């Protein structure tokens, strides 16, 4: 009881300590980012003061300025020389050449001021980008540091790092779940927005899966640990996104190609400026203002913000190139089972014969199927329980594999199964019954007949339930510019046609094996199509890997599909695919806007520099203004929301 009472207090103390540590860490980061600009600024100010008031020898104030230049800019110099050695022309090469030229003409304090401005802008840029990444790393903070575990029939509170696989973890109402696991006792509602992005809490009961970092809202749960630490779904999400943010989008190669020819052109322009003006400072200003920093960060900052935005809404993008490609897709292939549909059979209709009521037909079928493990039987039992029907145990029970079941209850014989199973048992199948079975088959449904005391009493129609959001998702995808949405399935043609007509896809392919799905992707790509593929199972993995953009259904999907795909939906809402494509298009537009800004800054700066209207210091201020404009422009993507506004709240938020 003491431990029971003290646990909330312990949680409260830990939460306060954690927030305090977070504040200290943030202040420390700001301090570290500020150190270099401060030191460079102080050295530059002292150098200027000594020169202005004529204090001390010349080498002293000049030495302080040079110390500021090489102390504050040494990382840029080292990187620049490495790039030159590797025969690469990069932004750092620009900076290195410009600073060396500034120092060479004796403008030591001007060079120091340039380094100071660059250090301040670099610190601001680093802090902004770190805030972007911190929004994802902050997910890890959702997982509590302590866990209550049952050990030797006692509940003990231990650090999460000491929880082992198989341990039973106790989660009280209001507590966050520290590990991935399976519920073995209790029932509750859990807010699992950090993992699936669902705005509504999800009911959890025995055998339900729960994830680290999700919030237990109402009841007490006991879960058996299946994954801990870096193996949890939450940790994998964070690591996956961090890895994706480090990858290049194809459009980023444009910056590399741009700098390759731009630097020689600028050097020629700087020489022309010097020859026409006779002032070496004009040449130095041209070199400084032409530095394409804004151009170099135009793509990575936008891609990083876009990936972060999607991750906060349960869409994990494994690389910038996939974020770019998604906006250009013209064909989308979608596996039917588990993607368009739930992959679980459900009773969708009951037809009665001989004046029998629907509930009585369902009750008789449920009695006969009570001991069956067949998926169709489970769907019948589920509906009977949903309607509150009493399902007594059958007195006798027998399965005819592939045909149906026979049961005896209350001295009466019940048969449930296929048409030919009942016919082989001597039950008369009338033309009306045959017609009813044929109508259900024409709609892509499986029809099982129910007979009692040698008379057919009804028909139960069962089908794979279509996800409620599927029609909306298809409409959104078309609005996003997807010209062809094609459903792929291993089901027969009749079932595939019925589902395709109901959900509104452009076309479908039925009776496909995994290798045939792969061949179809290849066929479309040879036609010049840019192909996306959505799937959830192992059989979809080859096609997911080959498609230009493979998208896995994260919550329902297998580990193989998720690992193979380029994008993972951490819930099963297909509308998130439309959101992903929308974000892709928005990121591409923002990249183009950023490049436009950077070119304008460079063009105007080069004109002003060529007309001798810029000093080296003003040139750097102008050039860094372009960088800040690009960073702010990209950062706005963090708060961009799809036009349909289906999200209730971002998943990274304080409680």
Q: List, by residue number, the catalytic residues.
A: 335
Torsion angles phi and psi, residue 561, rounded to 5: -65, -45
Q: 222 pairs with which residues across the strands?
A: 170, 185
Do residues 138 and 106 make contact, with C-beta atoms less than 8 angstroms apart? no
Query: Rounded distance, CA 541 to CA 534, Å?
Result: 10
Long-range CB contacts (within 8 A, 24+) of 383-389? 383/346, 383/347, 387/359, 387/362, 389/359, 389/362, 389/363
Planar angle of CA 517, 523, 526, nearest 5 degrees: 145
Position of tokens 């010097």?
274
- Residue whose C-alpha is closest to residue 551's, from 334, 338, 342: 334
Q: How far is CA 337 from CA 485, 537, 572, in A?
A: 15, 9, 12
Order of strands across the sheet that contains 331-335: 315-317, 567-569, 549-553, 531-535, 331-335, 484-488, 507-509
Q: Judge residue 583's burial from the number of C-beta atoms within 10 Å of its C-beta, 0-12 exposed, 13-18 middle, 19 or more buried.
A: buried
Task: For the chain, give percent helix, strand, coil, nearest 5.
Answer: 55, 20, 25
CA trace torsion 317, 319, 323, 329 (10° rounding): -100
Query: Rounded distance, CA 553 to CA 315, Å?
Result: 10
CA-derived radius of gyration, the chain:
33
Q: 334 pairs with which residues across the strands?
A: 487, 534
Q: How far is CA 538 from CA 151, 449, 517, 541, in A?
A: 38, 33, 12, 5
CA 17 from centre of chain:
30
Q: How far is CA 51 from CA 38, 82, 281, in A?
A: 20, 35, 20
Position of tokens 């800004």?
597
Query: Rounded distance, CA 600 to CA 594, Å?
Result: 10
Do residues 174 and 217 make contact, with C-beta atoms less than 8 angstroms apart? yes
Do residues 37 and 65 make contact, with C-beta atoms less than 8 angstroms apart? no
Specify the 3-state DSSP secondary structure of 651: coil
- Residue whose C-alpha is closest to residue 521's, from 500, 546, 540: 546
Query: Rounded distance, CA 284 to CA 274, Å?
Result: 9
């Amino acid at each position: 009881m003491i431990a029971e009472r003290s646990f909330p207090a312990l949680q409260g103390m830990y939460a306060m300590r954690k927030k305090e540590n977070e504040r200290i860490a943030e202040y420390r980061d700001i301090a570290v980012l500020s150190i270099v600009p401060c030191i460079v600024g102080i050295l530059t100010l002292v150098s200027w003061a000594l020169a202005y008031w004529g204090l001390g020898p010349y080498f002293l104030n000049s030495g302080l300025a040079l110390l500021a230049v090489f102390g504050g800019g040494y990382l840029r110099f080292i990187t620049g020389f490495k790039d030159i050695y590797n025969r690469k022309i990069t932004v750092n090469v620009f900076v290195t050449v410009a600073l060396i030229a500034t120092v060479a003409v004796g403008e030591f304090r001007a060079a120091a001021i340039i380094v100071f401005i660059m250090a301040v802008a670099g610190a601001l840029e680093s802090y902004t980008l770190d805030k972007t990444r911190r929004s994802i790393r902050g997910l890890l903070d959702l997982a509590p540091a302590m866990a209550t575990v049952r050990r030797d029939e006692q509940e003990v509170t231990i650090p999460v790092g000491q929880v082992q696989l198989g341990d039973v973890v106790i989660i009280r109402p209001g507590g966050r779940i520290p590990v991935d696991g399976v519920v073995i006792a209790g029932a509750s509602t859990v807010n699992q927005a950090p993992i699936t992005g669902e705005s509504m809490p999800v009911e959890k009961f025995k055998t339900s899966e729960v994830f680290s970092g999700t919030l237990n809202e109402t009841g007490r749960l006991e879960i058996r640990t299946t994954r801990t630490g870096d193996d949890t779904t939450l940790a994998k999400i964070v690591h996956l996104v961090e890895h994706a943010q480090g990858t290049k989008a194809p459009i980023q190669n444009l910056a590399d190609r741009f700098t390759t020819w731009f630097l020689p052109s600028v050097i020629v322009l700087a020489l022309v400026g010097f020859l026409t003006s006779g002032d070496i400072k004009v040449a130095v200003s041209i070199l400084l203002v032409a530095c394409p920093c804004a151009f170099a960060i135009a793509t990575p900052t936008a891609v990083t913000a876009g990936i972060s935005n999607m991750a906060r809404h349960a869409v994990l993008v494994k690389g910038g190139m996939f974020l770019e490609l998604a906006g250009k897709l013209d064909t989308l292939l979608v596996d039917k089972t588990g993607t368009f549909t739930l992959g679980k059979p459900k009773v969708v209709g009951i037809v009665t014969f001989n004046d029998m009521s629907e509930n009585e037909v369902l009750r008789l079928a449920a009695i006969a199927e009570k001991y069956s493990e067949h998926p169709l039987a489970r769907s019948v039992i589920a509906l009977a329980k949903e309607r509150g029907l009493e399902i007594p145990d059958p007195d006798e029970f027998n399965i005819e594999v592939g045909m149906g079941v026979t049961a005896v209850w209350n001295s009466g014989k019940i048969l449930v199964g296929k048409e030919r199973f009942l016919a082989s048992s001597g039950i008369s199948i009338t033309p009306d019954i045959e017609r009813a079975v044929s109508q259900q088959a024409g709609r892509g449904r499986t029809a099982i007949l129910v007979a009692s005391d040698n008379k057919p009493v009804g028909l139960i129609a069962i089908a794979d339930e279509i996800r409620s959001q599927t029609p909306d998702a298809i409409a959104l995808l078309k609005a996003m510019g997807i010209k062809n949405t094609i459903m792929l399935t291993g089901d027969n043609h009749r079932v595939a046609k019925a589902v395709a007509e109901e959900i509104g896809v452009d076309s479908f392919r039925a009776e496909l094996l995994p290798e045939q799905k792969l061949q179809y992707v290849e066929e479309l790509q040879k036609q010049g199509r840019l192909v996306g593929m959505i799937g959830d199972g192992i059989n979809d993995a080859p096609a997911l890997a080959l498609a230009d953009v493979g998208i896995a259904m994260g919550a329902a999907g297998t580990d193989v599909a998720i690992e193979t795909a380029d994008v993972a939906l951490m819930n099963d809402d297909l509308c998130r695919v439309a959101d992903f494509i929308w974000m892709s298009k928005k990121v591409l537009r923002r990249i183009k806007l950023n490049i436009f800004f950077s070119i304008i800054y460079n063009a105007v700066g080069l004109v002003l520099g060529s007309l001798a209207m810029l000093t080296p210091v003003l040139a750097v201020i102008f050039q860094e203004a372009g960088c800040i404009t690009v960073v702010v422009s990209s950062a706005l993507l963090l708060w961009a929301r799809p036009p349909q506004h289906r999200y209730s709240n971002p998943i990274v938020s304080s409680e």
